[in-house]
Amino acid sequence: MGKLTEYLMKAPPPPAGMPFCMPMMKGWVPRNLQPWVYVVTALCFQFSGGMYLGALDEIRGTTNFMIEDVMFLLYATLAGMAMWFPMLFRMKFRFTNQQLLCTSAIVMGICNVITMHSQSMPVLVVTCFIAGIAKIQGTFECMSNIQLWITPKRDFAVFFPVLHIILLTAIEGGGWLAAWMGHHFTWQMMHAFTVGTMSFVLLTQIILCRPFCPMPNRFSLKGTDWQGALFICVTMLLLSYIFVYGDYYRWFANHHIRMAGAFTLLFAGLTLYRLIHNRYPYVELRLLKCRNVVPILIVTILGELAFGAEHTLEEILYTDVVGLEELTKESQYMWALPGMFLGIGLDLYWLKVRKWKIWKLIGISFLSISAYTLLMYATVGMSVNIEQYRLAIMLRGFGYGILAPTLMWALDESVPSLEMFFMGLFVFNILHMYLGGAMGYGFYTTIFSHFLNEDMMNYGRQLTLTHLDLSHFNFGEFMAGSYLHSMMLVAIKQVYGYIIWYSLFLASIFLLCDIPAVRTNIRKVPLWPVLAIEYLSRKNKTV
């Protein structure tokens, strides 16, 4: 491990004025085209996956999968991505770019062929987990090779926002593309498309690239704590099983969840023992002692709980109440992209240009979540046109576009080395894109079910035989019609109401409290009245 750290510390950015070069590209490839080849390759990997949630209706219509099954496969893919972060730099300094990208493309293609034809949940869980590893390895290899093209000075205040332009575009665009494929063809066509893009990656690597490894003396993988990694993987999958299937099985009232909880405690104990007593653990616990790491992780959990409403309540609203088909629903979600791009633009201005503290920036993110939930609370209804939800969707995209790059940048500023940073990314992404999402899904489905049942019972108490003409009353039509949808809308509004207070509380904390800076050379954000006075004075001078 020391050899890798020493190499990373001795690798300074290129001198000013030196043109950007990619030694892995063949000489005849135009220099201006070289980085764009890797941008397209990164998009190919980001649009790929194990099981595509955008084709959910088509998958459920042609297989025996429930929505919980598809969600669990999605979190299996995210678990594979999260757990592989500590291995990314080790793999980069052990193998050549061609070996990594070609292997990732082949593995991703095989995984998509399996998911097209298999309906065995154990097989699909393993397949999606491996697909997540291949996806993050391919994406990292591409983005690490063009990092100095994006920011010659290795300024992560620039790199992380630009990286999230690619990531968030693929997240929203991938869902829409899967829905489009499922609408016009079959849900398997998205997997066939992914096999085609992976073939494109193989072709470009063979024709345009040559083997290259940035480390002359290859880094050995000997001593990697694979057993600790296995314990972590099993623990993550068990936790996601509990959160995803918890509401369906009525949580710990069912023996499936009780058994999963017992095994989770067992593997969590084995994992902790391994991390403490192993000389070279998969993730070093001293990471948590680095300044601001624990607060960043806490903010990550709080943010994911706030954003969990998007994944759950909007899905219930559009699918079960309004009855939108997948393509229309995913087209609606695409309105989050403009908001995300605006949030990333604010990140660049705040972190790169103004160099202000990030805590008030995080407060703005939670404030946008508050505005999103307030708009949804005021808009939700049976007679509402779906176009009226677009502003709210843009606002949640704006908040997410601020929060994700900002927290990743803050984590980089809080750890002493790149190697430690990727261990931090492992913990960060477990909470950010995996555990926090699964926790939010289980949390909001349970709360929604509680409010729905309570509302139905309260309304049922109002119904007596004196208010009903039993000769003309059809109970089945009554339950399947507007009554049930009205109760669901009331429950959705109740949940949104609690999220409004929750997000406003968090926004007020970050906007009003003066929390120490992440790094010492960050300037303090002026008070909002002072900022307004400065703006008006500059405007008067120009007039």
115's CB contacts (< 8 A; 6+ apart) are 50, 51, 124, 127, 128, 131, 191
pLDDT of residue 342: 93
pLDDT score of 518 more than 50: no
Per-residue pLDDT tens over the stretch 427-449: 887 877 767 777 777 778 888 88
- Between 121 and 58, the more confident residue is 121
Report helix, strand and coil shares of the chain as percent, to nearest 5: 75, 0, 25
Structure tokens at 367: 């404030």
Q: Contact at 8 Å (CB) between 128 and 50?
A: yes
Per-residue pLDDT tens over the stretch 201-259: 999 988 888 888 776 666 677 777 888 888 888 888 888 888 888 878 888 888 888 89
Query: How many angstroms separate the CA atoms of 9 and 11, rounded?
Result: 6
Amino acid found at 495:
V
Q: Lowest mean pLDDT of 99-108, 171-180, 513-522, name the range.
A: 513-522
Domain boundaries, the chain: 23-214, 225-281, 290-458+480-543
- pTM, rounded to two decimals: 0.83
pLDDT score of 468 more than 70: no
pLDDT of residue 217: 66
b (16+ CB within 10 A) / e for 461-482: eeeeeeeeeeeeeeeeeeeeee
pLDDT of residue 202: 92
Q: For the chain, what is the mean pLDDT?
A: 79
pLDDT of residue 350: 85
Under DSSP, is residue 48 helix (H, G, I), strand (E, B) or coil? coil
pLDDT score of 454 more than 50: yes
Task: Name the pLDDT band for 19 (thresholds 50, 70, 90).
Answer: low
User: Span 355-375, mean pLDDT?
Assistant: 86
Query: How many angstroms separate the CA atoms of 452 and 129, rounded?
Result: 34
Q: Could you give the residue ranges of the DSSP H alpha helices within 185-254? A: 188-208, 226-245
79 CB-contact burial (10 Å; exposed 0-12 / middle 13-18 / buried 19+): buried
Residues in the chain: 543
Per-residue pLDDT tens over the stretch 247-263: 788 888 888 888 988 98
pLDDT of residue 530: 53
Q: Could you give the residue ranges of the DSSP H alpha helices within 20-120? A: 34-46, 56-62, 67-83, 88-92, 97-117
pLDDT of residue 481: 53
- 23-214 and 290-458+480-543 share one CATH topology? yes
User: Span 452-476, mean pLDDT?
Assistant: 59
pLDDT of residue 309: 75
Per-residue pLDDT tens over the stretch 59-93: 777 777 888 888 888 888 888 888 888 888 788 87
Which CATH fold would you assign to the domain 23-214? Answer: Growth Hormone; Chain: A; (1.20.1250)
Q: Contact at 8 Å (CB) between 204 and 37?
A: yes
How far the first Cα of the chain sits from its last, in Å, is 61
Query: How many angstroms separate the CA atoms of 502 and 369, rounded?
Result: 10
19 CB-contact burial (10 Å; exposed 0-12 / middle 13-18 / buried 19+): exposed
pLDDT of residue 385: 84
Q: Would you say domain 290-458+480-543 falls under CATH 1.10.540.10?
A: no
Structure tokens at 484: 């049930």
pLDDT score of 3 more than 80: no
pLDDT score of 316 more than 90: no
Nearest to 310 by CA among 434, 400, 242: 400
In sign, the C-alpha dihedral spanning 431, 432, 438, 443 is positive
User: Span 318-339, mean pLDDT?
Assistant: 84
In SS3 terms, 431-456 reads as HHHHHHHHHHHHHHHHHHHHHHHHHH
